Amino acid sequence: MITTVTPGIDHKMAEIIEKVRRGERLTLEDGVYLYESDDLLTIGQLANEVNLRKNGKKVYFIENMSLYFTNVCESHCAFCSFRKDQGEDGSYTLSGEEMVSYVKQHITPGVREFHIVGGHNQHVPFQYYVDSLKALNENFPEVTLKAYTAAEIEFFTRLSGLSTKEVLLELQKAGLKSLTGGGAEILSDQYRQKMKVEKANVDQYLDVHRTAHQLGMKTHTTMLYGSIESHEDRIRHMLQIRELQDETGGFMVFIPLSMQPRNKNAGIMRRNSAYEDLKTIAISRLMLDNIQHIKAYFINIGVQLTQVALTFGASDVHGTIVREQISHAAGALTPDGLTRKELIWLVKGAGRIPVERDTFYNEVEVYE
């Protein structure tokens, strides 16, 4: 049980602490209050208490590799620095064979997951996206395919004329095992309009995950914070995720993604403060009482802050990654991957127990 750090804690904060300890759900009003409070240490301690209850001292990571089949995209989301037009300098679309040969050159022993996302390239048919997965699955059958965002799945329905369920079934046949969490941004149609998020709307994002869960797939989910959205928008985002999780139980992890600052079109002048990053991780832990893991993503918040985040409610530090591209295109100053040894160092340095996992959070090795 925590003793709160701040003396003279106010009535509302005391009420929230009691609610959390009684296992009661926090409301929209509670969440906004926490964001407006400057009592970061109390919020962090409370999130830490909840996380210790759920996961003990274990912190999870995976040996994985990020792959990007194409950066050609029909959309022009304001915050994106990854996309290119077809034929533009630096644009590419790799065939399945080219991707297999790239992987053979860069894969390290122990990689057990490919994390695959990319642009919405309308110049190739849906079959291209199916065949690319097939090629990887045939050549690396021991590696789990965690591929495509809900926004890409929605794009594939338009490209193919198939329903969401039909698209997912086709991809499952090709080897798909889980969806990535991207494409959520902020789940508010008003935000999406202002930020020119030219892809799946709120209902479509949630519906793709709902359908995947109904097909027995476990998936990931995110929130891209730190631009024009209000604190209330962030909490409403979390509440929509919580509600779907109540319905399906299919999300394994929630990943707060700190916005990177390069793209001036999105009106982002600077990085989020460390204070805001830690608070967001802690509040995610407190609001999302039905999601087992909250991830601290070192690519977007930095290695040192990720270490601190482990005492603010985070229970996962993602993985080795091997050459992240999307956040780095948007100005991330962090390393584009870490080794297993570095991840173990990071977790142990925070006094926690590193646990190597597979995509589905089954334990592979515990590094006591």
> What is the closest distance, in whole angstroms, from the C-beta atom of residue 98 to ligand SF4 in the complex?
19
171 binds ligand SF4 (CB under 6 A): no
Per the annotation, does 77 bind a ligand?
Answer: yes
287 binds ligand SF4 (CB under 6 A): no
Cα–Cα–Cα angle for 346, 283, 185, nearest 5°?
Answer: 90
123 binds ligand SF4 (CB under 6 A): no
Pattern 133-152, ligand SF4, x by CB under 6 A: ------------------x-
223 binds ligand SF4 (CB under 6 A): no
Please name the amino acid found at residue 212. A
> What is the closest distance, in whole angstroms, from the C-beta atom of residue 117 to ligand SF4 in the complex?
8
80 binds ligand SF4 (CB under 6 A): yes
What stretches of the chain adopt beta strand conformation (E)?
58-62, 64-67, 113-116, 144-147, 176-178, 219-225, 251-258, 293-294, 316-319, 353-357, 363-366
**Contact 83/119 with Cβ under 8 angstroms?**
yes
Nearest to ligand SF4 of 59, 202 (CB atom)? 202
The residue range among 56-64, 76-84, 169-177, 341-349 that interacts with ligand SF4, by the rule CB under 6 A, is: 76-84
**Contact 133/178 with Cβ under 8 angstroms?**
no
Nearest to ligand SF4 of 42, 263 (CB atom)? 263
Residue 92: CB partners within 8 Å, gap ≥ 6?
70, 71, 72
The residue range among 7-15, 77-85, 264-272, 347-355 that interacts with ligand SF4, by the rule CB under 6 A, is: 77-85
What stretches of 213-270 adopt beta strand conformation (E)?
219-225, 251-258
First to last CA, the chain: 24
Tokens of 179: 């969806």
Nearest to ligand SF4 of 199, 352 (CB atom)? 199
Nearest to ligand SF4 of 151, 314 (CB atom)? 151
Per the annotation, does 88 bind a ligand?
Answer: no
Per the annotation, does 63 bind a ligand?
Answer: no
**Contact 82/71 with Cβ under 8 angstroms?**
yes
120 binds ligand SF4 (CB under 6 A): yes
**94: buried, middle or exposed (CB in 10 Å: 19+, 13-18, 0-12)?**
middle
Per the annotation, does 73 bind a ligand?
Answer: yes
77 binds ligand SF4 (CB under 6 A): yes
Per the annotation, does 142 bind a ligand?
Answer: no
Q: For the chain, how big is the Rg over CA atoms in Å?
A: 20
Positions in the binding site for ligand SF4 (CB under 6 A): 73, 75-77, 80, 82-83, 119-120, 151, 199
Binding site residues for S-adenosyl-L-methionine, as ranges? Answer: 79, 185
Binding site residues, as ranges? Answer: 73, 77, 79-80, 185
